[in-house]
Amino acid sequence: MYDEQLLDLAASLRDLTETAKAVLRDELRKRELGDPLAPDFSALAKGRADSQQALDAAEDEVAAKPNEYTWKTPLCECASREEAWQIREALRRAGIESWLRDPANYSIVVAADQLEAASAVIANPIPQDIIDESRLEVPEYLPPVCPACGTADPILMAADPSNSWECESCGNEWSDPVDPRPDAS
Ligand SMILES: [Zn+2]
């Protein structure tokens, strides 16, 4: 029998025969589960069961959460990809690493030990040059359109030194300028 079963049995010791009581007491002592005839036995047995339950619950909770969420903590949600980019750039300049956890609502997470510093950064207005830069930055992520036939979603053939594309419709190949970002300063 398992310990729990044995303890249950011990709780209803009154109903057992004398022989069964003796066997059970010996077994409980062997397993160091306590003497069922001791006055505090019931409370003791219940305490063991409760703490085991609490332990199980705690283990379930840990298992349910992926590890990274124990140290990455939510900072804020943004209204747009542009705003998320601005905030992450402001954090990056302050030396704070950040991640976009959920692209659907642009929620940004930071390491838990940098939350305070990150909150201080975003409490200030985003510097104008970051806002300017983000407006240049965003179109870069839009998938290009074939300059020959206008078909969207070309195949990315190479990314070095700049993105090279091939159109699936007409076979046209072209490359982005090597440094497409004009100097913001
Ligand atoms: Zn084309």
In angstroms, the CA 166 to CA 154 distance is: 5
Q: How far is the CA of 14 from the centre of ligand 1 (A)?
A: 88
What DSSP character marks residue 135? H
Q: How far is the CA of 171 from the centre of ligand 1 (A)?
A: 6
Neighbours of 53 (CB within 10 A): 10
pLDDT of residue 185: 44
Give the pLDDT band (50/70/90) at residue 177: confident
Q: How far is the CA of 140 from the centre of ligand 1 (A)?
A: 19
Residue 175 has pLDDT above 70, yes or no: yes
Q: How far is the CA of 34 from the centre of ligand 1 (A)?
A: 82
In angstroms, the CA 101 to CA 82 distance is: 15
In angstroms, the CA 70 to CA 1 distance is: 38
More confident site: 38 or 130: 130
Q: Pick the most confident of 71-85, 108-122, 165-179.
A: 108-122
pLDDT of residue 109: 92
Sequence ranges of the chain with CATH classification 3.30.70.1530: 69-139
Range name among 21-25, 31-35, 88-92, 131-135 with the lowest pLDDT average:
31-35
pLDDT of residue 45: 63
Neighbours of 4 (CB within 10 A): 13
pLDDT of residue 33: 72
Distances (CA, A) of 100 to 14, 79, 156: 62, 13, 24
In angstroms, the CA 84 to CA 107 distance is: 8
Domain 69-139 classified CATH 3.30.70.1530? yes
Alpha carbons within 13 A on the beta-carbon side of 21: 10
Distances (CA, A) of 25 to 34, 42, 122: 8, 14, 65
* Residue ranges near ligand 1 (ion) with Cβ within 5 Å: 146, 148-149, 151, 167, 169-170, 172
More confident site: 127 or 134: 127
Q: How far is the CA of 135 from the centre of ligand 1 (A)?
A: 27
Whole-model pTM? 0.39
Q: How far is the CA of 176 from the centre of ligand 1 (A)?
A: 15
In angstroms, the CA 112 to CA 95 distance is: 14
Tokens of 181: 């970002």
